[in-house]
Structures are given as structure tokens and as C-alpha cells.
């Protein structure tokens, strides 16, 4: 089967859960299909692709984010026009187009190309934002417009993949008339439990982009409060982004420069080693479409602290007391109490997390999702798989 994967970011040039999903998915699909990855140019020279996968850049690689961490409008528009032009010119080249819903203009482009004889389209909806959140994100006027564009794209979506119950429900609230296919697995690692120690260093880990929605800047204050009960507690904050200056400022203000390290975007081997030895992973995000890092931590026996929030689907991956803690909010005192609770539970919590992963690894594996993805491809393309 000839498959086009459409997303404006390509791992490892940009790092995130969606980027890793498409990279891992493409890696598995190329074993049995012809895969073309349609994206922006984010590299100099030749792109770092996968054997058997062609990478096509349909727009330039200008920055995606404003200084404040908001998505720019120009780059998605250019990418959408590039996708439209490519699919119109190559409308007979593909059997199916698999695109991410965000940024929305690629969905519109793929559906227009389909209407003019192009291939059928499948859309991934990692997140469906409420109008309330859009207004908070962009302001009352721009937020209202963005919410309207989202509703249009929901109605344009035919076959749909979602990755959480939260966003499956929101699709229906936004007017989607079909039955979304819920993919529960994005984890591309081994489903066998990784060998890690039960006794852990008193170190709290964060892994992710430093953007406002991740609420990274609250971590230093939470560590400071928790150290009142655990004097040897330390933290490692991986990642980078617009909020990094605020994070570093908080570390300096609280006198924690010798306690909290911020390596930036580090090689995966370094992140993996930190996750294997950490007492817990702290993910205070306001908004997550899935929360892949929760599963990656569990595969290493590392409990996770997440925050209960209307837009946070990562909470669906945490069974209270089994593989982590769901904090009621992201206030430093509340997060500190969760850290202290994990510390008090000790190696027993690590063992419970291992058991949780052992019981859930099959459904959380990307291989479980791959089978459903290929079935959907075959159905929309009219092939017998």
C-alpha cells in the first residue's frame, strides 16, 4: 500500500509525543508498505530519515512558535498550501493520506485534494480544544476564530484516530458524526519490563518541552517545599523551550542551583538512564493529548505524578497508587505532598508500577495500534489487507 504521512514536524528535528508517534509508526509501516513523509524542511543537507521511507518537504522550515510559545499562523498556512499542491500534483501516487489534525490547514488541504480525485484521508486528533481554552490561548477574537476552524476540520474528518477517552468525547461534542477509533498504544519500546533497581535515588525527573502548558516553572517551588520533608531531594529537568528562562529564574530565586539540574534536550540514552534511577517523574501539565512519557516511565518502574485538569488526558494513564499519583492541582504545596507520598511508599511503589506496566503493556504498545491503523488504511483505500 502507498501511504502518505502528513505532519509539519519530523523527529528528531523537533521533539514531542506526536513526532515520536509518526516516526515510530513510519518505521513499522515501511516494513510492508511504501511510505512518504510529507513535512516542512527542518534540516540542512539530507534529512535523517528511515530506510525505505521518502521524506518530502513542501514548505520552508521557519520557526513554528512565537517568543511566548504560541503557534504562529504563517507556518501552518504555508504548510497547508504545500500539502495541497503536492497532493493535487500526485493525486494518483497514494492509496491513503494519514495526517495530524493540528495544524488544521493540512486537514483542509488533504480533504480538498480528495474532493478533486486525490486519495482518501485519515485524521489523527490528539487533542480537541474547547472554545474556552482557545480563548484563553489566543484571546477572545482569535480564539473564537480558531475554535470555528477546529469545528470545520472536525466535520471534514472522515475516519479518525484518537488517543484518549477525553478527546474521543470532545470530537462528538464538536460535531463529529462517526465513531472514532481509539488507539491506546503509542509506546515503541520493548513490552518486556526493563531491568531497573527497586531502590531509587531521591531524584524527581521532568521530561518535555518548556512551554506554558507544561507548567515546568512550578517544579522548583515544589522541590523546595518537598525538601522540607526530604532534605536530600534533587531534581533533573530535561527539555527546553520558551519557559526555560522562567524555570532557571525560579531555580536561582529559590537557591536551588546545586539541587536542580537542567540539561536541556539531551540524548535519549541520558534521559533513559535518568528515568531508570529516578524516584518519580513529575508531569504537572495543564494539557496533554496522551502522555507518552507516563508509559515510558512505567516501563522502567518509575511512578508518575500528574495533575487532574479538564484538558489533561495523561491522567487516564495513571491508576492512583498503582503507577502514580494524580494531584488535584499544580500548586507547589500539592505537588510537594505528592512527591513526599511517593518517597514514603519507597520500593513498594516501584514494584506496583512494574506490575501495572506488566498488566497493561500489550494494550499500550504501538504494535497494538499498528494493527488497527492498517485495518483502517485498507478499509478507506478499498484494499483487502
pLDDT of res. 123: 97
pLDDT of res. 67: 67
Q: What is the pLDDT of residues 166-184, one digit of tens each?
A: 999 999 999 999 999 999 9
Residue 383, pLDDT above cutoff 70 = no
Q: What is the pLDDT of residues 78-118, one digit of tens each?
A: 999 999 999 999 999 999 999 999 889 999 999 999 999 99
Question: Could you tell me the maximum CA-CA distance found in the chain, to the nearest angstrom?
Answer: 65
Q: What is the pLDDT of residues 297-342, one digit of tens each?
A: 999 999 999 999 999 999 999 999 999 999 999 999 999 999 999 9
C-alpha cell read off for 284: 504537572
Q: Return the number of other C-beta atoms located less than 10 Å from residue 74's C-beta.
A: 11
Residue 385, pLDDT above cutoff 60 = no
This model's pTM is above 0.75: yes
Q: State the average pLDDT for the chain.
A: 93
Domains of the chain with CATH codes: 2-188+365-381 (3.40.50.2000), 203-364 (3.40.50.2000)
Phi, psi of 237 (to 5 degrees): -115, 100
Residue 190, pLDDT above cutoff 90 = no
Q: What is the pLDDT of residues 8-30, one digit of tens each?
A: 999 888 888 899 999 999 999 99
Q: What is the pLDDT of residues 210-248, one digit of tens each?
A: 999 999 999 999 999 999 999 999 999 999 988 999 999
pLDDT of res. 69: 63
Amino acid at each position: 500500500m502507498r501511504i502518505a504521512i502528513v505532519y509539519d514536524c519530523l523527529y528528531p528535528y523537533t521533539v514531542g509525543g506526536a513526532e515520536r508517534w509518526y516516526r515510530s509508526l513510519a518505521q513499522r509501516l515501511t516494513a510492508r508498505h511504501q511510505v512518504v513523509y510529507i513535512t516542512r524542511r527542518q534540516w540542512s543537507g539530507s534529512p535523517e530519515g528511515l530506510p525505505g521511507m521518502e521524506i518530502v518537504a513542501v514548505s520552508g522550515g521557519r520557526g513554528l512558535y512565537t517568543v511566548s510559545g504560541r503557534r504562529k499562523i504563517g507556518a501552518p498556512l504555508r504548510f497547508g498550501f504545500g500539502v495541497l499542491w503536492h497532493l493535487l500534483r500526485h493525486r494518483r501516487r497514494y492509496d491513503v493520506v494519514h495526517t495530524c489534525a493540528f495544524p488544521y490547514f493540512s486537514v483542509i488541504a488533504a480533504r480538498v485534494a480528495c474532493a478533486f480525485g486525490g486519495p482518501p484521508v485519515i485524521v489523527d486528533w490528539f487533542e480537541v480544544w474547547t472554545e474556552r481554552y482557545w480563548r484563553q490561548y489566543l484571546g477572545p477574537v482569535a480564539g473564537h476564530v480558531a475554535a470555528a476552524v477546529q469545528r470545520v476540520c472536525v466535520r471534514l474528518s472522515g475516519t479518525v484516530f484518537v488517543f484518549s477517552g477525553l478527546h474521543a468525547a470532545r470530537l462528538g461534542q464538536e460535531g463529529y458524526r462517526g465513531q472514532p477509533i481509539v488507539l491506546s498504544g503509542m509506546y515503541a519500546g520493548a513490552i518486556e519490563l526493563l531491568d531497573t533497581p527497586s531502590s531509587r535515588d531521591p531524584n524527581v525527573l521532568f521530561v518535555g518541552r518548556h512551554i506554558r502548558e507544561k507548567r515546568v516553572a512550578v517544579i522548583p517551588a515544589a522541590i523546595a517545599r518537598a525538601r522540607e520533608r526530604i532534605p536530600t531531594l534533587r531534581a533533573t529537568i530535561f527539555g527546553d523551550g520558551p519557559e526555560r528562562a522562567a524555570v532557571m529564574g525560579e531555580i536561582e530565586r529559590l537557591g536551588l542551583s546545586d539541587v536542580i539540574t537542567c540539561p536541556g534536550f539531551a540524548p535519549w540514552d541520558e534521559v533513559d538512564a535518568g528515568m531508570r534511577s529516578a524516584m518519580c517523574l513529575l508531569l504537572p501539565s495543564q494539557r496533554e493529548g496522551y502522555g507518552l512519557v507516563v508509559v515510558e516511565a512505567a516501563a522502567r518502574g518509575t511512578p508518575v505524578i500528574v495533575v487532574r485538569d479538564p484538558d489533561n488526558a495523561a491522567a487516564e494513564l495513571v491508576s492512583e497508587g498503582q503507577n502514580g499519583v494524580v494531584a488535584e492541582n499544580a500548586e507547589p504545596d500539592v505537588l510537594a505532598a505528592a512527591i513526599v507520598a511517593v518517597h514514603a511508599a519507597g520500593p513498594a511503589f516501584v514494584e506496583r508500577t512494574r506490575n501495572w506496566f506488566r498488566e497493561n503493556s500489550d494494550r499500550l504498545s504501538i504494535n497494538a495500534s499498528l494493527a488497527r491503523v492498517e485495518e483502517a488504511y485498507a478499509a478507506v483505500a478499498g484494499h483487502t489487507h
